[in-house]
Structure 1
């Protein structure tokens, strides 16, 4: 980018920011000035409204106060007294007409006379349909105050006329006794009509801040502020406003302006021309003044709509001027920038053309341009460098005179050159082929050709790029030769590995046979150690069999057949017993592979104890531990019995050799974490030394006397337990002796689906 364009762009940015800052400052100034003007107008409006508020309060107070003495005058009227005292219809009729005439002259709402029970006996509206005559108003406070001899005042919504009014009452005396009450009701609607054309709204609030009178009928019976539940209940019980619902004035915002003056915003309902109702927000200047004579408060609301519209219009005009000025300045800046950019674009185009020419002339790739018939239009020097000769004679000749496509790409080349309108669709808008640049009859340069379509303004053209592939072809040949050599070495190595695997499998089989022979040797060693006990186990029943047989011969000679039968039964039982003993040792002595299945720990222990019972009795060793063990493990019953026999045999030898005073072996089993069962065998022998633990499970290692044992029992036991997926360990018990742990996978029924048989 030229330096002058950078300077111009930087200058434009500074100018834009300057305009933005100036516009922002102008808008803030407009806002501040308009706020000051608004405060000034509000202060002036407040002064004018104070005068109007005083006039309004005086008019309301004087308009109501002028009726306060009328009940006193009526109470002093003789016609009123006679009508109440005597109750003659003629007197009452004359009184009705007189009250109607007085009401017409004074322009009050209603005048009526009640007896001491609160029943209206005469009224100015006696001829109207909703006349008070005959109605009882004893519940009204103004009656209750007057009947007690006081001057009564009250304001309420009439229960009969349904019109708002202020009531004045006074007791009527006859012979110093109260015989009735005179009441004058002042209708406030006549005062409200006087202010219909005023430029403000007013509210007359009762002591509970409920709107009792207003220039806007929609605000009647609404409270300014909030009333508690007790206050609402009290107003409802008094029936002051009949059954009207007391709601809150819709004041949505209020902010103080001056002492006792605030600006409020109300939500008012309006009707559109279509008849649909809608709501709009209206702002007022709120001022209030109490009317001490009646305990009321008058509130004046001066509309601020015209003032707000004026200020908004003034702000809009000034802001519009600022925006228009900013737009004009922006347009001028934009035009200046467009002219500068046009000049820079022309300069950039010249620069780019020179740059492109230099790139084309100095690029290492060969570039050739073709017309729409694939004839050569131009080429760069790199093409002549590739072929090593001048190519001025190839202009306007087909590309085939310079480039020969490889046989494997001839199909794509023919499709490209024969296609109607010479459009390229193989691979999108470009195609890549391999071939040769022809230097002379005997020499060609291997190249990669990429042909790309050019969308020129008035015609179609093509750009061809040639890349020298001499080095790449050489690398491909070297890689192919290396790959072939590697494949040959892999085949040779594979043969060697297969031969080595065969030897390894043979060694594994031999190792497995050796291991099975060692296990069988260990079994035979245990059986050899148990041979003395086996002789004792078999000699006893054989001696008994001979005795029973001899006795049977003698009993047979004496014809004692019953005794012979008993002896034969004893001989049969002893034969079964000897068969069980021999069967146990036959099962223990057999060969076999480890077959994992669910087996009972209790059954494995019982089988091992049957084999070791004679040696334990011979060594006077007590056994304690498993009784009705419920645990099941995955393993082989015969091999687990062999492991327990090996451990028990070592424990018995250790106890006997050490000549221990306490001779006992304890077997226990319990579940541990990870779905496993651990079998613990604890003896009261001397235990192991620290050096023994490191070699305890080594083959041919033994702590017994010379010539006793082969030292294979624990080594073979470790291999058996590991083949069943468990582990075996040993340590010295804290209370003395050695303790072995055999840990095996527990049988979990849902994890071993299909296993129904349980060994033992």
Structure 2
């Protein structure tokens, strides 16, 4: 029903709004039509007056051209004749009310003018550039309109040639000032515009509209107007028409933005007009009347406001009537609901499982429900009018009392609310005491103060609390026992972890020594060659000393010193490689680690004739441990050598490459062996797994290498190369990230 009325009200509102809007539009169109009829008559009248007023001047140049004194002044040029002609022109202007009359010779120079007495006289001015002069000098009557370059006044010009026989000896010009017409029609109830053929406002009742164009002018047209000097430096701008809509075939509704003065402040105002136009063929102009519509718009707005107010008042009255009817209906429903609620509350009170007792303002019992008698186990009628303490006693641990109103207020203030909850027991029964939770709250009744007391049986809850307390004690005892057992297990586990770490370190050291054992033959070869050379250089040196050739002996001693240093470097590298220790993180140069591993592996590679190719140093720095990284690289190089020896028919070549990303450096070791089987790839890094011949390895090298690389925060992986052989890749985190680094060109260098 509510939804139905809401839709009905919305429909009525929409219909009323549309009626007000459409009615206002119809009334507005009717008033505009009346205004159009009146304005059209005014337009015809204005056009006739303007056309007749200007037409009377069009023959004046012809009459002046036939004047003998004009011809004589042009022909002879005597000062006396020109002075007399100036006075006659001045007199003619006073009689005809023309603006200006002047005589121009064939060179375009003004020799006489009606305004010869004025400071801005035309006498001496050259107007050969004006179109009216050019037409008349060719023997044709001239017509022209422009803003005067000398007087700075707008006017319409008529010109005619002056003949002496068949020769043109000068030009007569009459200028009609349009300002007099603007003043004449300035106080009308409309605005008028006089538009030239380019739709530029040449005359208007509003001075601010002068030289404004209605429509658009191209750049070529604007340049043509500027070259003609018709408006003598005046800027041609567009009239600010912001809205334009045809009303009928002969009129339009236009809105114009105009700056107006309001209380001394310039305000941009939007003016609405009804525009009607007609041509003035004599001048080749168009005249327009703009009748203001603001009054009509204000009247329509007022009519709409009055009508809307009436509709609103009617709707309010109807709404008030509906509201009163609804209030009466709701009051009846409320009374019925009250009776229903009272019966419902009585049933709830009588059948609730919680005990309810009401107290008066002195905390004396007024009434109770059957649930309280059920808790106590006997009737409570004798307690009516007795204090609450006869029925309920607090537990000993609660020192608060409820024997007085002041005690209740103090307890309630401590809680910040008008509700108080306490635990105690019902003491009226001669049987066992009943443990209950009492809640007392204040009831603000219309005429008096009362309290409602609620009793909840806590017998089961007390039993549960005792059981929970006993269970918590037993649980705490079990937790203490279990904690003691866990502490012992933790001690044993820590001991096992320490033993495991020691075993792991020994295992890594064993792998190192195993590699050193495999390389011992190559090491002997590397040390034997320098020793042989040292013996040769020493023998030669003794011979040189015996012969007194000290310089050659000195050279042999230098060679012996260099060979000794070389042997010391070889032995030092093996000693560093063989030392024990944990992974120590820090910045290390990748190229340095590679070269250290190569010093260890070079003897073996030379022994088995394997070509070792290393890319150029890229300057990469990673975060890791130098010795342990060398151990990983030695393990991978040793495996690569074993793989190549197992493939005697393939090319014997190992390639070491360095590639860096933004966060990591990849070290790849590629061999030309037979590659890895699928089973080997799956179990490659498992301890004691090996794909070598029996007795050639323990299967711990790659497992230990994996743990070392992961301890340094990196990864190690293996895959088969498309062209044959295997590729192992060690990825380690970069220590720093240069902001700009030109990519280094790679070049291969044989070791």
Other-structure match for 1:203: 193
Other-structure match for 1:464: 453
Other-structure match for 2:169: 179
Is the 8 Å Cα contact of residues 283 and 303 (structure 1) preserved in structure 2?
yes
Is the 8 Å Cα contact of residues 412 and 419 (structure 2) preserved in structure 1?
no
Other-structure match for 1:424: 413
Is the 8 Å Cα contact of residues 640 and 654 (structure 2) preserved in structure 1?
no
The correspondence for 1:380, drawn from 366, 369, 382, is 369
Q: Is it true that 1:212 corresponds to 2:202 in the alignment?
A: yes
The correspondence for 2:44, drawn from 25, 33, 54, is 54
Q: CA offset at residue 215 of structure 1?
A: 4.0
Q: Is it true that 1:743 corresponds to 2:730 in the alignment?
A: yes
Change over 3 Å in CA distance of 1:66–1:369 after alignment to 2: same
Change over 3 Å in CA distance of 1:182–1:518 after alignment to 2: closer
Other-structure match for 1:477: 466
Mean Cα displacement is larger for which, 686-695 or 351-360? 686-695
Change over 3 Å in CA distance of 1:740–1:242 after alignment to 2: closer
Is the 8 Å Cα contact of residues 724 and 744 (structure 1) preserved in structure 2?
no
Structure 2: where are the runs of 5+ without partners? 739-751
1:86-137, Cα deviation, whole Å (9 max, x unpaired): 3334433433343333333333233333333444433334455554444444
Is the 8 Å Cα contact of residues 665 and 681 (structure 1) preserved in structure 2?
no
CA distance in 2, matches of 1:167, 1:550: 133
Q: CA offset at residue 256 of structure 1?
A: 0.7
Report the secondary structure of 2:415's partner residue.
Answer: coil
Is the 8 Å Cα contact of residues 378 and 429 (structure 2) preserved in structure 1?
no
CA distance in 2, matches of 1:185, 1:287: 28
CA distance in 1, matches of 2:130, 2:515: 121
CA distance in 2, matches of 1:148, 1:559: 134
Other-structure match for 1:395: 384
Q: Is it true that 1:360 corresponds to 2:349 in the alignment?
A: yes
Change over 3 Å in CA distance of 1:634–1:304 after alignment to 2: closer
Q: CA offset at residue 171 of structure 1?
A: 2.0
CA distance in 2, matches of 1:693, 1:25: 84
1:556-608, Cα deviation, whole Å (9 max, x unpaired): 9x999989999999999988887777666666555554545555555656665
Mean Cα displacement is larger for which, 705-714 or 392-401? 705-714
TM-score normalised by the chain length of structure 2: 0.82
The correspondence for 2:433, drawn from 440, 444, 449, is 444
CA distance in 1, matches of 2:10, 2:520: 114
The correspondence for 1:668, drawn from 633, 650, 656, is 656
Mean Cα displacement is larger for which, 163-172 or 720-729? 720-729
Mean Cα displacement is larger for which, 26-35 or 324-333? 26-35
Change over 3 Å in CA distance of 1:419–1:402 after alignment to 2: closer
CA distance in 2, matches of 1:535, 1:101: 141
Q: CA offset at residue 347 of structure 1?
A: 2.9
Q: CA offset at residue 43 of structure 1?
A: 4.1
Report the secondary structure of 1:169's partner residue.
Answer: strand
Other-structure match for 1:285: 274
Is the 8 Å Cα contact of residues 193 and 203 (structure 2) preserved in structure 1?
yes
Q: How does 1:219-368 map to 2 (within 5 A)?
A: 219-268=209-258, 271-272=261-262, 274-278=263-267, 280-305=269-294, 307-308=296-297, 311-368=300-357
Change over 3 Å in CA distance of 1:152–1:136 after alignment to 2: same
Other-structure match for 1:66: 56
Change over 3 Å in CA distance of 1:514–1:331 after alignment to 2: closer
Structure 1: where are the runs of 5+ without partners? 1-9, 752-760
CA distance in 2, matches of 1:688, 1:66: 119
Mean Cα displacement is larger for which, 134-143 or 473-482? 134-143
CA distance in 1, matches of 2:479, 2:286: 112
Change over 3 Å in CA distance of 1:566–1:360 after alignment to 2: same
Other-structure match for 1:5: none
Q: CA offset at residue 295 of structure 1?
A: 0.7
Q: Is it true that 1:105 corresponds to 2:95 in the alignment?
A: yes
What is the aligned residue count? 736
CA distance in 2, matches of 1:633, 1:13: 75
CA distance in 2, matches of 1:688, 1:20: 83
Q: CA offset at residue 22 of structure 1?
A: 4.7
The correspondence for 2:394, drawn from 396, 405, 408, is 405
Report the secondary structure of 1:178's partner residue.
Answer: strand
Q: CA offset at residue 510 of structure 1?
A: 3.8
Other-structure match for 2:613: 625
1:301-334, Cα deviation, whole Å (9 max, x unpaired): 3344555455555544444443333333233223
The correspondence for 2:493, drawn from 496, 501, 504, is 504
Is the 8 Å Cα contact of residues 137 and 161 (structure 2) preserved in structure 1?
yes
Is the 8 Å Cα contact of residues 709 and 716 (structure 2) preserved in structure 1?
yes
Q: How does 1:532-543 map to 2 (within 5 A)?
A: none
CA distance in 2, matches of 1:549, 1:130: 127
1:639-672, Cα deviation, whole Å (9 max, x unpaired): 555555555556666666x593678452514245
Q: CA offset at residue 188 of structure 1?
A: 3.1
Report the secondary structure of 2:386's partner residue.
Answer: coil
Report the secondary structure of 2:139's partner residue.
Answer: coil
CA distance in 1, matches of 2:342, 2:59: 110
Other-structure match for 2:111: 121
Report the secondary structure of 1:61's partner residue.
Answer: helix
1:198-229, Cα deviation, whole Å (9 max, x unpaired): 55443222222223333444444333333334
Q: How does 1:725-736 map to 2 (within 5 A)?
A: 725-726=713-714
Report the secondary structure of 2:374's partner residue.
Answer: helix
Q: CA offset at residue 512 of structure 1?
A: 3.9
TM-score normalised by the chain length of structure 1: 0.81
